[in-house]
Structure 1
Amino acid sequence: MRVLFAFGLGLLAGAVAVVLWFTVDPDFEARTEAVAGGGNITVTFDERALAAIIARELPAIPGVGERPAVDVEVLREGLVGVTFSVGAWGVGTRASVFLDPEVADGRLVLRVARATLGGLTAPEAVAALIEPPLQQRLDEAAGELPYRLVAIRTTDRRLALDLALE
Structure 2
Amino acid sequence: MLAFLVGLLAGGVSVALLVTLGGNAGGDAGEAGVGNVVLRYDERALGVVAEAALGQRAVVRVEQRGRLAVALGSYGDGDGQRLVVDPDLSDGRLVVRLIEGEAGEAARLEGALVAAMDAAMSGTPYRVVAIATRDERLTLELAPGE
Q: What is residue 78 of structure 1 aligned with on the other side?
A: 66
49-58 or 39-48: which moved more?
39-48
| Structure 1 residue 79: Cα displacement | 0.2
RCO comparison, higher one (Cα < 8 Å, 6+): 1
Query: Which of residues 97, 112, 128 is equivalent to 1:149?
Result: 128
Q: Determine the C-alpha separation between the residues in 2 that align with 1:54 and 1:107.
A: 19
The percent identity for this pair of structures is 36
1:58 maps onto 2:46 in alignment? no
Q: What is residue 45 of structure 1 aligned with on the other side?
A: 41
| Structure 1 residue 114: Cα displacement | 2.4
1:106 maps onto 2:85 in alignment? no
Secondary structure at the aligned position of 1:139 is classed as helix
State the AA in 2 paired with 1:52: V
Q: What is residue 62 of structure 1 aligned with on the other side?
A: none
Q: What is residue 164 of structure 1 aligned with on the other side?
A: 143
Q: Determine the C-alpha separation between the residues in 2 that align with 1:133 and 1:162.
A: 16
Q: Determine the C-alpha separation between the residues in 2 that align with 1:146 and 1:58.
A: 27
Q: Determine the C-alpha separation between the residues in 1 that align with 2:96 and 2:109.
A: 8
Runs of 4+ in 1 over 3 A off after TM superposition: none
Q: Determine the C-alpha separation between the residues in 1 that align with 2:104 and 2:112.
A: 14
| Structure 1 residue 76: Cα displacement | 2.1
Q: Determine the C-alpha separation between the residues in 1 that align with 2:125 and 2:94.
A: 14
| Structure 1 residue 81: Cα displacement | 0.5
Secondary structure at the aligned position of 2:124 is classed as coil
TM score, norm. by length of structure 1? 0.60
CA offset digits 1:38-83 (Å, max 9, x no partner):
x822111111111111112223xxxxxxxx3311001121100000
* Matched residues, number: 107
Q: Counterparts in 2 of 1:31-42, with a 5 A limit?
A: 40-42=36-38
> Which protein shows a greater Rg?
1
TM score, norm. by length of structure 2? 0.67
In the alignment, structure 2 segments of 5+ residues that lack a partner are: 1-34
